[in-house]
Amino acid sequence: MDSFTTFFPGYSTGEDAYHEINAVCSPYGSKAVVIGGKTAMEKTKKYLLDATKDSDVTITDFLWYQGEAAFEYADNLMANPTVKEADMIFCVGGGKAIDLGKLVADRLNKPYFTFPTIASTCAAISALGIYYHTNHVFRDFFRVKRPPVHVFISTRVIAEAPEVYLWAGIGDGMSKEAEVEFSARGKEAELTLSDAAGVAMSRCCTAPFLTYGVQAMKDVKENKPSKAIEAVAMNIIVNTGMVSNMVNSAKYNTNLAHALFNSFTMLHQIEARHLHGEVVAYGTLVLLTLDKQYDKLDAFYKFYKEMKLPTKLADIEVTVEELDPVLDEAVKKYDLDYIPYPITQETIKAAILELEEYNVKNS
C-alpha cells in the first residue's frame, strides 16, 4: 500500500489564549497532566488553573520534566501513574521541556498540547525534538509521529519572560526565508506540495520581524502584552515552525547561516557567550552578501542595528585569523547539501570580508 499522512497543528493566541483550553481540548478527554520546566510551571500554573477551573478538562498534576530532554527521563515519566491515566499531555516550557513532553506523549500514544513560555524556538509546534544524554551532552534529533494537536500562545506569558529569548528568537527567524529560498532555488520540479507550500510560507517570515521587532522588544522589556509581541511570537513559533514541519528538513530547512553557527561553536567564545539565534542572524547577513542580495542586506543591516543584533565578526568576538578552521568545518555541514551553485571556503570567506567592509562603509 502506498500512502502517507500529514498533520497540521492548530493554535490559539492572545493574552487569554489559555481560555480556549476547554473548547479545544475537551473532545480529547477530561484529564490532562502537565509536564514542564520548573520556572515555566511556576509562571503559568495560576493561568492554567484559572483557565480550567470551570471546564470539562481537569489538570491532574504538574510534573517537572527533570531538567533535560533525555530518553531516560521520558521513561521515568511514562511509568508515573498520573501520566499513564491522563487522557492528554500539556507540555509547558521552552524547548527542552516541550521536547521531553512530546516524546512521552508519542510513546504512550496520547494527544499532546503545547504551551510555550518563551518565543525563542519552534519546538512548540514542531514534531522534531532535540535530545540529550542526562549529562547534557547532545544525543540525537528525533521526530515524533505527530506535531502537537494545538499550541496555546499566551502573549501575557511571553511578555513576562526575559527579553533575551525573544531577541534570540527573532535573530534565528531572520534566517528562515533566506535559507529556505536559497536551498530550494532551482529545485522547483522536485518539490512536493508540502515542500512548495513551506517555501511559499517562508516568504512571510521576514516582514513581521521588520515591522514589529523593535516595538516587541520594547514591550517585552516592560512585560507588556501587545500586538507587536503577538505578531513576533506567532512568527517565531508558528510561521517558522510550520515551514520546518512542511519542507523536507534534510534538504530545504537550513543553509549557510546554520552551517556557520554549527561550525562557529568550535570557538570557545561562541559556545560560552553567544546564543544560537544571535550567531544565525549574523550568518544570514553572510548568506545575503554571498548571494549578492544587496537590497535585502541593506534592510536587514538597518534592522539589526536597531535591534543590536550582530552585523560583523567583532560583534560575536571572532577575528579573521580564526576563520579558516571554522570554514573548513562549515563546508562539510549537511546544511550545505542543497545549494543553487557551488560554495567553497574561499567564497564564504570573501563574503565575510565583503560584509566587514560593508560595515565600515555604513557605520
The site for Zn ion (CB under 5 A) is made up of: 172, 280
- State the minimum distance, in angstroms, from the CB of residue 5 to Zn ion: 27
Whole-angstrom CA distances from 75 to 111, 222, 286 are 17, 40, 42
Q: Which of 156, 122, 168, 124 is nearest to 13 (CA)?
A: 156
Task: Give the residue closest to Zn ion by C-beta.
Answer: 172
Minimum Å gap between C-beta 361 and Zn ion is 29
Residue whose C-alpha cell is 551532552? 137
What are the beta bridge partners of residue 141?
A: 130
Beta carbon nearer to Zn ion, 24 or 180 = 180
Minimum distance, C-beta of residue 356 to Zn ion, in the bound complex (Å): 23
Is the Cβ of residue 280 or residue 351 nearer to Zn ion in the bound state?
280
- Least distance to Zn ion from the beta carbon of 277, Å? 7
Q: Nearest distance from residue 178's CB to Zn ion, in Å?
A: 12
**DSSP-H helix ranges across 203-293:** 206-221, 227-234, 240-246, 256-264, 268-273, 276-290
The whole-angstrom separation of Cα 270 and Cα 38 is 27
Distance between CA atoms of residues 303 and 206, nearest Å:
11
How much is the CA Rg of the chain, to the nearest whole Å? 21
Residue nearer to Zn ion on the CB measure, 129 or 225: 129
Q: Which is nearer to Zn ion, 33 or 118 (CB)?
A: 118
Regarding beta strands 112-116 and 150-154, do their DSSP bridges make them parallel or antiparallel, or are they unpaired? parallel
> How far is it, in rounded angstroms, from Cα 265 to Cα 9?
32
Task: Tell me the closest approach of the beta carbon of residue 280 to Zn ion, in angstroms.
Answer: 5
Nearer to Zn ion, 226 or 263 (CB): 263
Q: Quick one: 104 or 270, whose CB is closer to Zn ion?
A: 270
Q: How far apart are CA 151 and CA 149, in angstroms?
A: 7
